[in-house]
Amino acid sequence: MFQMSSMASKIKTAVLPVAGLGTRFLPATKSIPKEIMTLVDRPLIQYSMDEALAAGIEQFIFVTSRGKNALEDYFDRSPILESVLVERGRDDLLETVRDISQDSGRIAYIRQHSPLGLGHAVWCARHLLGNDPFAVILTDDIIQSDQPALGQLIEIHNETGHSVVALTEIDPTQSEHYGLVKYSHTDGSVVAIDALVEKPPPTEAPSNLAVIGRYILTPDILQSLNGIGQGAGQEIQLTDAISLSITNGYPVKGLLINGTRFDCGSKSGYLHATLAIAASHPTLGQAFRRIIRDLQGPHTQPTGQS
């Protein structure tokens, strides 16, 4: 669990686009939202929530779609469950369950009626965003780090007042899975971005620095979202709107994140995250590492089976 950042943050609101159908995880996602799937001992969405709360976020806008009601229930109070846990004297579980439920009004749920892209999902939140900078968290991207990745971005935003996007270095052959940045200047891990390109083929990639799912955006982005059409994959791309903001004179920084990012949008990335998080888990880690060692050994059958 992250420690609360001591630095006062101006970023109080986070948008979480969670409208995706999760088709890569069918059949599980036929009846539950992907964000509720368990990663070791918590639903995927809880990781984003914990990271955001640790970075000082106070209000959340979930951009949802049909079939995502389980997300609202997850963050709601659960009176019957809580009274059963009280009766059974399970104070530990009671505390866990109560910690998850957020105060009334802290999470707003709005719907994206059609899957028109990440930029469109953020645009759906426009009436709730006002004129303040805000965060965007893509829940598929799990980032293991000492300081929450969002907190790292907020520090750079507080220093510069600019939009800041999270970056990582990628294998250039993977460029078609990411938004990539064009830049000419870096200062340590901070990159002055000239433009962004969504999912280019390797031959057209402007660099090997890719955007990962954490953004601090200044409100000009909503204007830019109004001014762009469909981009890569025939979707309204957030990347294109950020690029347009730069063209319109709003500087954007990239920050190479100090941490490890897992892409839980793919089965292999999800398994990788499961292994890494389980192996470093404070209570399950030791036993889990033993299981992995045993699986790697010559005898992979559990004891007692032939």
Would you tell me which residues interact with ligand G1P (CB under 6 A)? 118, 138, 141, 178-179, 198, 210-213, 237-239, 265
What is the C-alpha separation between 59 and 52, in angstroms, rounded? 9
CB of 86 to ligand G1P, least distance (A): 41
CB of 148 to ligand G1P, least distance (A): 17
Count of residues in the chain: 306
Q: Which is nearer to ligand G1P, 224 or 288 (CB)?
A: 224
Residue nearest to ligand G1P (CB): 179
Q: Which is nearer to ligand G1P, 147 or 266 (CB)?
A: 266
What is the C-alpha separation between 155 and 141, in angstroms, rounded? 20
Contact 51, 148 (CB under 8 A): yes
User: What DSSP letter does each residue of 238-284 carry, written as one string?
Assistant: HHHHHHHHHHTT--EEEEE-SSEEEETTSHHHHHHHHHHHHHT-TTT
CB of 165 to ligand G1P, least distance (A): 9
Q: Which is nearer to ligand G1P, 162 or 214 (CB)?
A: 214
Q: Which is nearer to ligand G1P, 39 or 212 (CB)?
A: 212
Q: For residue 140, give both structure tokens.
A: 């598929």
Q: Which is nearer to ligand G1P, 64 or 288 (CB)?
A: 64
Of 281, 263, 276, 288, nearest to 25 by C-alpha is 263
Angle at 86 between CA 85 and CA 91, to 5 degrees: 75
Q: Which is nearer to ligand G1P, 182 or 289 (CB)?
A: 182
CB of 201 to ligand G1P, least distance (A): 15
Contact 9, 135 (CB under 8 A): no
CB of 15 to ligand G1P, least distance (A): 14
CB of 263 to ligand G1P, least distance (A): 6
